[in-house]
Structure 1
């Protein structure tokens, strides 16, 4: 009976968190679309990116109170409650991300949604005077609801909140609260009118009676090779991101000057390449023929090095101090790399792009289980084995230093 009582209390407590996080995600997605549209309509905004970055840095420095640590602050607080998650993290990251996208920075939306979810969960716990013993559960619920609602993948959101904390371990004690929060968050976000893009990978590549019976084993071998490549790409992204951030901190002591330099570099890269397709989320294009997270699923939908350029734009943007997440750029990077590998390995383009879409993120975040489920939610279950192989191999070859530095190691990948 005690277990049932705790379960009921948990569900009752996380449901408001799911509603709050889902509502925040819906507003964020709407605002992000508006910011992107305004940037497309006013190309000159890109030249104000350095100034916008200085403004973001000043606001965080003056009012952040630790909020600049973003997702890592949430992870540390879940591991070991201490100073708490400041409620101001929600408006700060929302405003900072929208400004980053409005002026052309290359960033994502997962970090914003997760931080908003965590910040709202913390604020709810404080205002409702929730006992301290439930704070960890509420923070994890906020992460699950934020992630699940912003991408429309509640199953992946729930598992992500349990898997991202510790490398090699899933916090199953919070399974039901995280699942409820993610489902409520996704339902709420959709109820507000938010829409999520769904993509299909063509062709039934598995047998009718057994997933393994009718499988093309040569294709499975190619998927394995691609999975290793996705892991190495994830490793490059994480290493480059940490390296650029450390270099800015070491060589540019003035905090406001870092995003100014980063903004200038983004502008220079834009004109060096002669295209704006690597700015912003990368989900929609200004010009016909530009690479996007959708176009990579088609023949000729990405250039050979599109994945590398998006990687470079993103690590410079985030490393310099602009705000936003890494996941949507990682979708672009993985999908574009999959598009390139499809030609080299002789794989179906849509399948290779779909695998890269989730597998590079799996390696960079050290969350292969969540990303396997994300692949199923986004693209359908008929290729579940391929998603699992690509995600787990990417995880294995991506190293221990992912995009979340606060992640703890419970089980090393090398068995040491």
Structure 2
């Protein structure tokens, strides 16, 4: 018994220690990411609109980074979050250099007007830091996988100010229908440590979204929410399919020359920006995202953001996809509020969470995100929204490396062990 207790105590200490170290490091690095993005995106780009014209050249710079410094043997940092997921599954090793490269690539993308977010860089930096600690302390394979999840949790928790969501997101991200609860302690410690560092030490102020009115519970309101969520889940599928389609086409057409891909993508974004006559859909779009909770926004803003983001990330620029998904869902909810007769801020919030859930395939983390972002308001509606979005979005998602442990429903004839990439390949044979 004493041996078991000693082993338990040593393991628990190891998880808490490594979780704390990863959280502290990633929390500080994510704070740097947020502050720098705010400076480049708000203080510089928004006051110098002409910077958008240099986006094609910025694409060449990003492509050069990944083609010359992002590869090691068969491992390619350009896979982004997919490489971290492969690392958790033991299919590939996460490169330590991936974190610095994605940070620099994200800064370039944000400064010159590419449509992107933040969590991708934070998650990849988290995986990079975890991999560095794994190699330094020479931990075993099982702990390597757990600490990579821990890095994911720290990055997400610090990026959005949602430590509980971050802890679960790290465990839920890698496989549909399965969570590795063994990783709960280090993921929770890292996420809270990173969140504390970001908010208490580095004074990061996260966006606040307020639901002004929550409808009373009724079967009719639930029916309207489910109807809206079906539309939101369809939006997430359309985005993922377009994003992956652009990436596959440009990689094949340009023979995986990331500089050429991103240069053409930059030209397309510049052209689209001139057509729409505004830069509201460049960068992160936080201003319109916040406005979607309080006032009418352009009715097709969600579609513009979808196209801008799919082209930006599909052609080789880097960053995150959570913020763009938040934007799409909230602005579509804003548009639908008059048609479905639900409060604007409420339906914008439902859209934000539902589109993210459908794209990320993380229903528990998405529900916890709603709880943390909206102070627990309307939890019954959000719970149903996450379930419906998760099921009806099918086996599609932002990250093709996600493994299907169990199909979402018997409605889908999918075998366990497949990935989203393999399923999409079957549906779109070459």
TM-score under structure 1 length normalisation: 0.93
**Given the superposition, is the C-alpha separation of residues 204 and 364 from structure 1 closer, same or farther in structure 2, using an over 3 Å criterion?**
closer
Match runs of 1:91-240 below 5 Å? 91-190=100-199, 191-203=201-213, 205-206=215-216, 215-240=217-242
1:362 pairs, out of 334, 357, 361, with 357
Q: 1:259 aligns with which of 246, 258, 262?
A: 262
Of 301, 317, 321 in structure 1, the residue corresponding to residue 316 of structure 2 is 321
Alpha-carbon contact 1:360-1:391 (below 8 Å) kept? no
Spell out the pairing of 1:33-72 with structure 2 (5 A cutoff).
Answer: 33-36=38-41, 37-65=43-71, 66-72=76-82
Deviation per CA, 1:163-213: give whole Å up to 9, x if none.
Answer: 11111122212111111110111001112111112222123545xxxxxxx
Check conservation: 2:215, 2:221, Cα contact below 8 A. no
2:18 corresponds in structure 1 to 13
Cα RMSD between the aligned structures?
1.3
Per-residue CA deviation, residues 75-106 of structure 1 (Å, 9 max, x unaligned), is 01101164x21111111000000000000000
Name the structure 2 match of 1:299.
295
1:369-388 matches, cutoff 5 A: 369-388=364-383
- SS of the equivalent of 1:256 reads helix
Total equivalences in the alignment: 399
- Give ranges in structure 1 of 5+ residues lacking alignment: 207-214, 285-291
CA offsets 1:106-151 (integer angstroms, 9 cap, x no match)? 0010100000111011112223343444211211100000001000
Structure 2 gaps of 5+ residues are 414-430
Say if 1:229 and 1:394, in contact at 8 Å, map to a contact too: no
1-structure distance, mates of 2:258, 2:121: 21
TM-score (norm 2): 0.90
**Cα distance in 2, alignment partners of residues 273 and 216 from structure 1:** 41
Q: 1:31 aligns with which of 1, 23, 36?
A: 36
Offset from partner CA, 1:322-355 (integer Å, 9 cap, x none): 0101110000000001111111101100000001
